[in-house]
Amino acid sequence: MKSSLFIVLATFSSVALAEPPDAGGLGIEHLPKNLKPPIGKAISDKDLKARQNGEKFGGFAQAGEEPKGWDLEKNSEFITFDGAVTLVPKGAILHVPDRYKNNVIPELQGNFSLWNNFSTRFRGVVVSFEVSIAEASGQAEIKPERLEAARKAGVILVATINQNPVSVTKKAPATATAAR
């Protein structure tokens, strides 16, 4: 009895929720009468197959081969303290005092730490030096007095934008022309 009552209620509810025939929907009768067919030539199966064969994935690098492309380690500099190491882009380190020269290393050695954790933990020796996008790209020169004041603190200066390390393109010094 209960199952037949459930079937009857389900039937009536589906009929009650159905859209009337003249309501909006996806039927062909609702398309505009002046709708034009798509412009252009349809691609044949033969042409499509040829295109697919021309765009096939070449596969992954073979064993023993180094994949070509951008290499994170080759484009980074590493700073280490107490067994922790972090990486910054090449050109991001603006100043290293003599006493910390051994803390800037050429390869990843130690327990890796993200920049924000590393700079917080070693904030007495590694400091963010905020630069603008124009200064980082070399369009504007970092003001020498600002950079010199930061160097006097005796810490490793790392160029950052919004506290994230960034490479700084050094602007070529202007050539002095003698007045004639």
| pLDDT tens per residue across span 77-133 | 999 999 999 999 999 999 999 999 999 998 888 899 999 999 999 999 999 999 999
Cα–Cα distance for residue pair 41/39, rounded to 1 Å:
7
| pLDDT tens per residue across span 11-53 | 655 555 666 655 556 777 777 888 887 777 788 889 888 888 8
pTM (2 decimals)? 0.57
Q: What is the DSSP string of 131-180?
A: --HHHHHTSSPPPHHHHHHHHTT-SEEEEEETTEE---PPPPPPPP----
Q: How confident is the model at residue 60 (pLDDT cuts 50, 70, 90)?
A: low
Residue 79 in contact with residue 107, Cβ under 8 Å? no
| pLDDT tens per residue across span 151-171 | 999 999 999 999 999 999 875
